[in-house]
Structure 1
Amino acid sequence: MTHHTAAHRPQAMNDCIDNCTQCHAICLETINYCLGQGGQHAAPEHIGLLATCADICATSADAMLRGAAVHTITCGACAEICRQCADACDRMNDDSEMKRCADACRRCAESCAAMASQ
């Protein structure tokens, strides 16, 4: 059994792990922001999507860090959920916090889609 460390993983995978980890953190921060804003920002559906996005990002990063072959499946799911989350954030008021989250989700979706197709 091979033990993968950052030095032995493909660079694209390391970048994807970083994007997932960053997106996870930003989605959690955005939940706090949205709850503070109230109104449509705090709608249960929106908060639920942000939370699910954070969860799948963490799960995908963990799968890649473990070297689990199923990372292609988690990354595929992550890419789709990140895309939906980015779209939802774009539909909110055009403020910098929501844009920051949408950008992080899109970045993560792109790298996860690439990982899923390998």
Structure 2
Amino acid sequence: MQHAEKINESMRKAIEECMSCSALCEETISYCMDMPGTMMDAADLRMMMDCAAVTRTCADMMCRTSPWHAELCAMCARICGACADMCEKMPRDAQLSRLARACRSCAQSCTSMAGAAA
């Protein structure tokens, strides 16, 4: 079986969602750091850093069809859910709302990937 045949449409969607979520986490970290009187504390920034790192790594593992990708997808879904919860505590901020939506979507795709490999 060719490598491209191992990556189905669901996995492609999860890879794209992970990469998009990672980039938006990084963008949001910068946004929060540049805000005067920032509403984020160090724990919130660390949460976004963790989310950015795990989504990027998860995408990498799916791209190379690592046998460990399902386990990481399950962890990724949990971290994305926690990041979304944190962002949703500040619903009036458009940037954080965008990140919350991206995290929820990524979590859903990763949950599907974790379940598909089980």
**TM-score with structure 1 length normalisation?**
0.92
Q: How far 1:8 sits from its partner (Å)?
A: 4.8
Q: Which runs of 5+ in 1 are unaligned?
A: none
Aligned match of 2:95 in 76, 94, 97? 97
Other-structure match for 1:73 = 71
Other-structure match for 1:4 = 3
Other-structure match for 1:40 = 39
**TM-score with structure 2 length normalisation?**
0.92
Aligned positions, number: 115
Q: Which runs of 5+ in 2 are unaligned?
A: none
What do residues 48-68 of structure 1 show as CA deviations (whole Å, max 9, x unaligned)? 000000000011000000110
Distance of 1:82 and 1:34 partners within structure 2: 18
Aligned match of 1:29 in 24, 27, 30? 27
What do residues 8-54 of structure 1 show as CA deviations (whole Å, max 9, x unaligned)? 5110000000000000000000000111124332x110000000000
- 2:66 corresponds to 1:62: no
Percent identity over paired residues: 37
- The amino acid of 1:16's aligned partner reads A
Other-structure match for 2:81 = 83
